[in-house]
């Protein structure tokens, strides 16, 4: 074992230990002397001072005992009398996180190293922070980077993670090639994007995989990467519709059929809300910037907090100043207030209209044209206790007629029958389920753990959890470290079996860069279409009712502290979108969608590229089906075999 694979122990610095001792010993001594010299002290004062003294002693012991260390087998943390040993193979991520409020207090450490295990549990590494490490003249970032490198080397049986960028993938493949492990190298190459895989396969000299992998290997070996790049450069990827506004964008939603878009804006808090309805171009992919609205509705404030386009009508929820709400229906150029007297929370699409939550632990269902709302009490009708579920975590999957709620329990409901389909308690002690989303017909993803509030009062979570729905049972499948803020994230993309989050900065309200994860494994994946790749300053994202488009709200003008842009991105990717995506992520459904984008005017070279991608994706899926590992090999020279 090398020096770089043994770390710590990281303890309180000598200087800080002296300060703690100087602060604690005299204080405790004064308390003891006072108790010894005074006989007429009130018992309540004795108890209070005794507790204060015990706290001081406990803090001193905690400071002296807490530490972080690591060796070739595990990482250890000690806090007072409790020690935790985390095997390298059980670690999911090691990262640096900002400490909430540190930038405002100006005291103490501002960055802390944390570890996430396979269950997504977060463990702080005591004294591995920028203040304690920096006092010793070392680089905190360098120390954590060396710890991560040791984790990469020492974890057992895990394949090195494939970086998201081409540069990172090239570096990893180069390292593996130097290790002379062609089987491991091939496992990574077969999951690369088509052109990168055709380039990387030339690293194999005198080696070929055996079994089903051989066919895919031969297909990639015969391809000319430079010719493929030239053909790809002539293809046109899907392009979003973009609408820019001078006013504040409050909300946006697509109608069923996804050819109409509703957007709510306002100039300021004293001005009325304006709801615009737009007709989107057909087919999607022909770019259209700021088309003229079909209808415009003026609605008195204060402001729109929810908006749904139900096809026949647009339903808007208005938040009043004193906590009340009202619903407004917009249709055929006219507005109508309905649902008075009901304080509704968030609105979501339901199978036959919409569903909302109330402040008195109930769900309310409505239709596009109906004047009344149907109430379903979570306690009175479904038997769910007020402390068992949190109505504000509501998620809907209109296509399947199902709803889901988080809290102390994760619950899935049948919308039409008004009954519980499945329920499960989250893993871990005192673990809560936050915002829930459907990430596929049988997948749910939710915020998981214990929430905390940042300095602005926003609720933050550090982990995502995944469950699979089978009939009337929910199976927990794992967790991944992912910082989410508020109730907008994660966002479910049912048609792609994914979830989206944003990698935000110190001010989450400004949005961040989109990140996508598989809804089952929660592994990071590429964007569904090129137009979503590395999209930044995103504040909200929602899948359309027919699951063919995404509505994205962005804050593009840094000089304005508000959302100002709405984009509609087609989800049905064409070949130009699929070719840059990893082969390991693509399936038959992607190929079927892309086939719709092919035209009779495509050149023979373009059609050859389509055929190559189809053949490689189908063979890649066949490898997964047969369970082949690709470790067998036989001699050969790439490009010279049949």
pLDDT of residue 174: 67
Q: How many residues are listed for the chain in this entry?
A: 642
- DSSP 8-state code for residue 282: S
CA-nearest of 125, 14, 121 to 69 is 125
104 φ, ψ (degrees, to nearest 5): -95, -35
- Integer CA distances (angstroms), 541 to 27, 137, 402, 489, 537, in order: 55, 44, 20, 8, 11
Q: Give the model's pLDDT for residue 180.
A: 63
> 98 exposed, middle or buried (CB, 10 Å; 0-12, 13-18, 19+)?
middle
Least trusted range by pLDDT, from 17-26, 82-91, 513-522: 17-26
Q: What would the two tokens of residue 237 be?
A: 């990827």
Which residues, in sequence order, are CB contacts of 587 under 8 Å at separation 6+? 617, 621
Nearest-CA neighbor of 330 among 353, 350, 311, 346? 311
Report how far residue 369's alpha carbon sits from residue 310's, in angstroms, rounded to the nearest whole number: 10
Tally Cβ neighbours within 10 Å of residue 165.
9
CATH number of 3-155: 2.30.29
Query: Taking the domains of the chain in order of start, what are their residue ranges?
Result: 3-155, 171-235+575-626
pLDDT of residue 36: 57
Q: Which residue's entry shows tokens 């994914």? A: 498
pLDDT digits (tens, 9 = 90+) for 429-453: 788 999 999 998 899 999 998 888 8
pLDDT at 250 over 60: yes
Q: How far is CA 495 from CA 81, 492, 529, 598, in A?
A: 49, 9, 13, 21
> What is the per-residue pLDDT for 444?
96
- In the chain, pLDDT over 90 holds for what percent of residues? 23
Q: How confident is the model at residue 276 (pLDDT cuts 50, 70, 90)?
A: very high
What integer is the mean pLDDT of 419-427? 92
Least confident of 213-217, 276-280, 506-510: 506-510
Question: pTM value?
Answer: 0.72
DSSP secondary structure string for all residues of 141-161: HHHHHHHHHHHHHHSSSPPPP
pLDDT range class, residue 105, cuts 50, 70, 90: very low
């Amino acid at each position: 074992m090398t020096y770089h694979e043994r770390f710590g122990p990281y303890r309180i610095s000598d200087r800080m230990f002296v300060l703690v001792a100087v602060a604690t010993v005299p204080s405790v001594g004064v308390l003891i002397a006072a108790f010894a010299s005074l006989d007429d002290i009130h018992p309540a004062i004795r108890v209070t001072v005794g507790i204060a003294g015990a706290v001081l002693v406990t803090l001193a012991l905690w400071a002296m005992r807490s530490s972080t260390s690591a060796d070739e087998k595990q990482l250890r943390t000690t806090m007072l009398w409790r020690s935790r040993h985390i095997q390298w193979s059980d670690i999911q991520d090691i990262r640096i996180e900002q400490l909430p409020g540190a930038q405002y207090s100006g005291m103490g450490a501002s960055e802390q190293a944390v570890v996430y295990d396979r269950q997504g549990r977060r463990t702080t590494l005591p004294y591995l922070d920028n203040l304690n490490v920096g006092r010793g003249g070392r680089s905190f970032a360098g120390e954590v980077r060396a710890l991560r490198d040791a984790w990469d080397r020492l974890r057992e049986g895990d394949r090195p993670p494939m970086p998201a960028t081409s540069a990172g993938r090239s570096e990893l493949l180069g390292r593996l090639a130097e290790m002379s492990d062609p089987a491991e190298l091939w496992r990574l190459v077969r999951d690369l994007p088509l052109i990168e895989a055709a380039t990387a396969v030339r690293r194999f000299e005198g080696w070929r995989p055996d079994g089903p992998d051989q066919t895919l290997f031969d297909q990639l070996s015969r391809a000319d990467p430079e010719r493929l790049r030239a053909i790809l450069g002539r293809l046109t990827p899907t392009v979003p519709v973009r609408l820019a506004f001078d006013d504040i964008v409050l909300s946006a939603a697509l109608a069923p059929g996804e050819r109409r878009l509703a957007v709510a804006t306002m100039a300021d808090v004293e001005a009325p809300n304006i709801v615009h309805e737009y007709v989107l171009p057909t087919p999607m992919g022909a770019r259209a910037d700021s088309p003229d609205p079909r209808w415009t509705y003026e609605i008195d404030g204060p402001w729109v907090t929810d908006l749904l386009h139900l096809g026949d009508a647009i339903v808007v929820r208005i938040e009043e100043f004193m906590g009340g709400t009202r619903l407004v229906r917009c249709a055929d150029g006219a507005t109508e207030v309905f649902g008075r007297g009901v304080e509704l929370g968030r609105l979501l699409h339901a199978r036959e209209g919409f569903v909302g939550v109330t402040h008195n632990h109930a769900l309310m269902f409505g239709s596009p044209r109906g004047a009344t709302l149907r109430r379903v009490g979570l306690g009175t009708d479904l038997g769910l206790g007020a402390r068992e579920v949190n109505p504000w975590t509501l998620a809907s999957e209109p296509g399947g007629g199902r709803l889901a709620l988080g809290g102390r329990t994760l619950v899935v409901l049948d919308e039409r029958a008004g009954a519980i389909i499945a329920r499960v308690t989250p893993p871990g002690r005192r673990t809560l389920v936050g915002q829930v989303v459907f990430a596929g017909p049988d997948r749910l993803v939710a915020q998981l753990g214990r929430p905390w509030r940042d300095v602005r009062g926003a609720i933050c979570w550090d982990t995502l959890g995944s469950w699979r729905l089978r009939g009337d049972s929910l199976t927990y499948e794992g967790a991944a470290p992912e910082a989410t803020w508020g109730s907008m994230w994660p966002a479910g993309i049912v048609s792609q079996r994914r979830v989206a989050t944003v990698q935000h900065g110190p001010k989450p309200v400004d949005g961040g860069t989109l990140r996508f994860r598989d809804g089952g494994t929660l592994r990071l994946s590429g964007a569904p279409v090129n137009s979503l790749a590395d999209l930044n300053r995103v504040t909200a994202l929602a899948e359309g009712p027919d699951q063919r488009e995404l509505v994205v709200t962005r804050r593009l003008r840094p000089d304005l502290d508000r959302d100002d842009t709405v984009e509609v991105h087609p989800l049905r990717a064409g070949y130009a979108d699929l070719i840059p995506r990893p082969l390991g992520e693509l399936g038959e459904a992607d190929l079927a969608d892309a086939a719709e984008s092919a035209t009779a005017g495509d050149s023979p070279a373009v059609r050859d590229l389509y055929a190559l991608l189809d053949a490689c994706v189908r063979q890649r899926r066949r490898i997964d089906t047969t369970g082949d590992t690709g470790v067998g090999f036989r001699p050969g020279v790439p490009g010279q075999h049949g």
